[in-house]
Structure 1
């Protein structure tokens, strides 16, 4: 697992890369979050050398990795997935979502959803808090209804305590939304909400906060509203 598409190209397709040293019949599994196009490029190069390939990005964060409960989105052939399923299951729940590149498309969709929900929760918390509602009690109330989300549950302390120590860095989520937007352009899909959150994550980076947790999007909403969540509650 490496940070971005150029890194995967270098590690797998480079002169001393994985494929250069792989034996025929081997299976290469890339768990990075990268462009679906690059995942397909790697799979085609692997196939040309008689090597199997799976793109298998994950969601679940550091805690999910430690506890073995990652969601693993796998692209590649049925045969290659069957070979890897038991091993991947040691890290979490692997789901075969389609052919080469499909794992990366699914991960891009995952990041689109998380970005939108973080922004929505941030806006709701600032609105409720500035209107005089206790944010902790509001989170408890909302969590019991349709508005309750895994994001709100997992990031509650980040939002309420303004604890932006990174679980997932804003700069990495910004990179991932770039992948999602590029993929959307490839298929002629408009993602207006994603484009907005992409710009907000860029604003965090410009403030030198790219290494903060992505829940730091809250601080931009607070800044615009002139209100810090919890003040006066």
Structure 2
């Protein structure tokens, strides 16, 4: 089996490396030569592709790219990958995208005689590197079943049903997480005004209903004014925006998350987009 992998950055790179570590034949493409070199360094069964078109003969092609338009630009249209792939091949899409974009690609893949699975990811690049990444997979169940063992090589797969469901799980997770982070930042800001030491405040809150994943992970970073990028603020903004676009399309008015979106937009506008998403703390309370 020949596997293709397009996009080997923070999230795609670890997953591609897991395939190579397992001895799978993987053809890798990325605009960053450094990312490709880092991915191929873990084994001998990976090779670099000179162009996206080189992956047309692959049995399975994974994509892990920043935005929906990037993925659609690669696979759709007369010059896209779908027009060149062999009948019966499979596209597995790993990015955080909206259901509309995912279903557009699913329909185009089916028209071209290809399979399509949406596989959104639940945790961090560190989890992905250890093959501990939760994977929320949607699409035709028979396609999932036929490739379940491959998914287990690169992460912890869960079949969630439809393509819509796969997209929604990740977007819901990120909307809740980023809204929690904004609320945490607000709480820390109030603590500052009260004269509370940030580290002490977090310690006291950790045994209350205020505790959350964001408090445990990013609370200490905010307390130390550490905004080094682990998950960039602009990426968080993109995910919250896509999630709310999804919710609005389903006639939902999510007021708390809409308020959080404004914070992330403001933080990006003030130049914090390349910092960690906890840099939202720099604009709360203004």
Normalising by the residue count of structure 1, what TM-score does the alignment of the two structures yield?
A: 0.88
Distance 1:187 1:64 in 2: 32
SS in 2 for 1:34: coil
Query: What's 1:177 paired with?
Result: 240
- CA shift at 1:148, angstroms? 2.0
Distance 1:68 1:163 in 2: 27
- CA shift at 1:117, angstroms? 0.6
Pick aligned residue for 2:84 from 9, 13, 21:
21
Distance 2:204 2:142 in 1: 46
Contact kept in structure 2, 1:74 and 1:97, CA below 8 Å: yes
- CA shift at 1:130, angstroms? 2.4
Distance 1:84 1:211 in 2: 36
Could you tell me which runs of 5 or more consecutive residues in structure 1 were left unpaired when the two chains were aligned: 225-233
Identify which range, 52-61 or 149-158, moves more after superposition: 149-158
Distance 2:126 2:216 in 1: 14
Query: What's 1:84 paired with?
Result: 147
Deviations, residues 174-215 of structure 1 (Å, cap 9, x unaligned): 111221121112110011111111111111111111111111
Q: Whose helix proportion is higher, 1 or 2?
A: 1
Q: CA RMSD in A?
A: 1.7
Query: What's 1:53 paired with?
Result: 116
SS in 2 for 1:146: coil
Query: What's 1:139 paired with?
Result: 202
Distance 1:153 1:91 in 2: 26
- CA shift at 1:120, angstroms? 1.3
Could you tell me which runs of 5 or more consecutive residues in structure 2 were left unpaired when the two chains were aligned: 1-63
The count of aligned residue pairs is 223
Query: What's 1:231 paired with?
Result: none
Contact kept in structure 1, 2:119 and 2:137, CA below 8 Å: yes
Pick aligned residue for 2:259 from 196, 202, 214:
196
Contact kept in structure 2, 1:76 and 1:102, CA below 8 Å: no
Identify which range, 55-64 or 196-205, moves more after superposition: 55-64
Pick aligned residue for 1:106 from 158, 169, 192:
169
Identify which range, 206-215 or 60-69, moves more after superposition: 60-69
Q: Whose strand proportion is higher, 1 or 2?
A: 2
Deviations, residues 54-90 of structure 1 (Å, cap 9, x unaligned): 1112131222222322222211111111123222223
Normalising by the residue count of structure 2, what TM-score does the alignment of the two structures yield?
A: 0.73
Query: What's 2:132 paired with?
Result: 69
Query: What's 1:39 paired with?
Result: 102
Distance 1:207 1:89, change over 3 A: same
Query: What's 1:10 paired with?
Result: 73
Distance 1:31 1:162, change over 3 A: same
Distance 1:72 1:12 in 2: 22
- CA shift at 1:92, angstroms? 2.5
